[in-house]
Amino acid sequence: MAVTLTDDEIDALVRERKVFPRKWLKLVSRLKRDGAHYRQEVKLRSESGTEFQVKVRLSVRNPQDFCIVLATKSRLLSRLFRLRRYEGRGEHTNHIEGERFDGFHIHIATARYQERGREDAYAELTTRYDDFLGALDCLIKDTRIHLPTGAPRSLFLEDRSCPSTP
């Protein structure tokens, strides 16, 4: 598969300042049930006008099985391009590097995995979160998503927010 976005372009998109719309809390409070999982999506834009989407999926049976995706779509891209995925607990193998691990992990889009057909097939183990809200908090921080004016600064009342990337 051709490389659609280079690593630098991916990094630039992740670092663009983005703002959640007012209805962003539906990612947490208005999940829709679909069979054996819950889902919800929110669209947002960066200051430069780039379109993004945050999608969440959460297992009905297992609260540690979830996925929170940041994807982008521009006029040059006809489909959603998955930039980051914050995953629940599970096993993963990085095919190119030959690494296998089990735990909470973050998928990161790369050029080298685009060539193999899946931009988001590379992942890194993380200890920065251990539940769905923690993962969402990490995504918000890592990808520079700002909450709308007047919204609380964090998803959490106490300071148990996601630590910064080491």
Strand partners, 39: 32, 57
Report the residue number, 121 or 162, with the smaller CB distance to other proteins. Answer: 121
Among 69, 83, 136, 139, binds other proteins (CB under 8 A): 69
Angle, alpha carbons 91-95-98 (nearest 5°) = 85
Name the one range near other proteins by CB under 8 A: 64-72, 126-134, 143-151, 153-161: 64-72
Minimum Å gap between C-beta 154 and other proteins is 26
Per-residue DSSP letter, 134: H
Q: Hey, which residues between 30 and 59 contact other proteins (CB under 8 A)?
A: 34-37, 39, 55, 57, 59
The tokens of 2 are what?
A: 């051709």
Radius of gyration in angstroms for the set of CA atoms belonging to the chain, rounded to a whole number: 16
Is 107 among the residues that bind other proteins (CB under 8 A)?
Answer: yes
Asked if 88 and 66 count as a contact pair (C-beta separation under 8 A), the reply is yes
Cα-based distances in Å from 59 to 71, 119, 132, 152: 20, 24, 10, 27
CB atoms inside a 10 Å sphere around CB 97: 9
Name the one range near other proteins by CB under 8 A: 11-19, 70-78, 138-146, 157-165: 70-78
Minimum Å gap between C-beta 116 and other proteins is 9
Among 45, 118, 141, 144, binds other proteins (CB under 8 A): 118
CB atoms inside a 10 Å sphere around CB 114: 21
Residues that bind other proteins (CB under 8 A): 1-2, 4, 34-37, 39, 55, 57, 59-62, 65, 67, 69, 75-80, 82, 85, 87, 90-95, 102, 107, 117-118, 120-123
